Amino acid sequence: MTATNTSRTIACVGEAMVELNITNTAQQIAFAGDVLNTAIYLSRGLDAASKVEFVSVLGQDPLSAEMERFIRREGVGTTRIRHHDTRLPGIYSIAVDAEGERSFSYWRDQSAARSLFEDGFGQLDGADLIYLSGITLAILPQERRLALLDHLQHHPARIAFDSNYRPKLWEDQATARRMTESAWRICDIALPSVDDEMLLFGDQDDEAVLMRLRSYGLRNGALKRGARGPRPIDPNLPSPILPQATKVVDTTAAGDSFNGAWMASTLGNCDPATALKLAHEQATRVIAHKGAIVPLSKGSAAFEGERN
């Protein structure tokens, strides 16, 4: 059963890429990206009155066209996608070790998504909630990052953010730290991962991360801690004890699926403890299967099925 929500438009802003999964026996092509993954899992949890729209730039090539069809098939709107005349989507290859941990190689320096918002921020008009990540910021030139953050600060929509720190995408750590802190200070919903925050800001543990985030005025959201389970950002809410995953095949999109399920639950008026539980359960199901997007038949009972 899907969550029941008031009509709203959620704009998910980021880069979708072509995924190459190369094994000893086959080569598979898929489409993924941190924000796109979240958009798909979020869309699965909302009723038909609410719309999830992917905001990005693709090319004019056959892979871009197939990617756009894939996005629509997954229930995410594509009307806010722009198309670049000459640039192509980024590509990455993925390898997964015996413990399910993944490593990536990227070809994205000239991707179409890096031209996002070159013509202004009209793609965000009318959105009630805007979700983006640290990767969204990292692929933009600095002048456009600053303009985007300024635009978001004055936008009437609520802002949700996941820092998703990828050092190789940034010019340097100092820039990444400044931009990420700026994003935290203007967002309404915080969905960070503890490892990213500790790596970027040098925090020693969960408590240090939470204290810093709360010092920015953040209270709404969850700190993802992998197998240890999430903790609420709000210090007045208890941290639930949740079961660890019993099967880990591929940790790709664990955090992305958590974000989507958490936002869907919260927008559907679930209480904070239930939202954390449902999001954690979604993430544990996702990591039990290969690939970022789990087919609906294998997804959470709370987030699968036809949209109402």
Which residue in 34, 172, 256, 271 is the catalytic one?
256
pLDDT tens-digit profile of 182-209?
A: 999 999 999 999 999 999 999 999 999 9
The two beta strands, 27-32 and 222-223, are unpaired
Lowest-confidence pick of 102-111, 113-122, 298-307 = 298-307
Asked whether residue 2 is assigned to any structural domain, the reply reads no
Q: What is the pLDDT of residue 102?
A: 65
pLDDT of residue 26: 62
Asked whether residue 208 is domain-assigned, the answer is: yes
> Does residue 4 belong to any structural domain of this protein?
no
For the segment 244-250, the average pLDDT, to the nearest whole number, is: 75
280/268 Cα distance (integer angstroms): 16
**Does the pLDDT at position 2 exceed 50?**
no
pLDDT at 299: 47
pLDDT per residue as tens digits for the range 260-298:
999 999 999 899 999 999 999 999 888 878 777 888 765
Domain containing residue 92: CATH number = 3.40.1190.20
pLDDT of the residue at 307: 30
- Half-sphere exposure (Cβ direction) of 127: Cα atoms closer than 13 Å: 28
Q: DSSP secondary-structure letter at 109?
A: T
Query: Per the confidence metrics, is the pTM higher than 0.75?
Result: yes
Q: How far apart are CA 139 and CA 195, in angstroms?
A: 21
Structure tokens at 239: 């941290």
The answer to the question of residue 179 being in a domain is yes
Tell me if residue 128 is catalytic.
Answer: no
Q: 3-class DSSP state for residue 84?
A: coil
Q: Is the pLDDT of residue 138 over 70?
A: yes
pLDDT digits (tens, 9 = 90+) for 56-108: 999 999 999 999 999 999 999 999 999 999 999 999 887 767 665 667 788 99
Taking a C-beta distance cutoff of 8 angstroms, is the pair 18, 44 a contact?
Answer: no
pLDDT at 129 over 80: yes
pLDDT tens readout for residues 213-230: 999 999 999 999 988 999
What does the pLDDT read at residue 21? 75
Once rounded to an integer, what is the mean pLDDT over residues 163-177? 97
Res 304: pLDDT: 40
Is 116 inside a domain boundary? yes
Domain count, the chain: 1
**In this structure, is residue 1 part of a structural domain?**
no
Edge-to-edge strands, sheet with 17-22: 27-32, 17-22, 91-96, 102-107
Does residue 308 sit within a domain?
Answer: no
| Mean pLDDT (whole number) for 28-53 | 93
Establish if 198 belongs to a structural domain.
yes
Question: Is it the case that residue 140 has pLDDT exceeding 80?
Answer: yes
Domain extent for 215:
9-298
Mean of the per-residue pLDDT values of the chain: 89
Share of the chain above pLDDT 70, in %: 90
Between the ranges 37-51, 112-126, 241-255, where is the mean pLDDT highest? 112-126
Query: Exposed, middle or buried by CB within 10 Å (0-12, 13-18, 19+), for 238?
Result: exposed
The DSSP H or E segment spanning 160 is strand 158-162
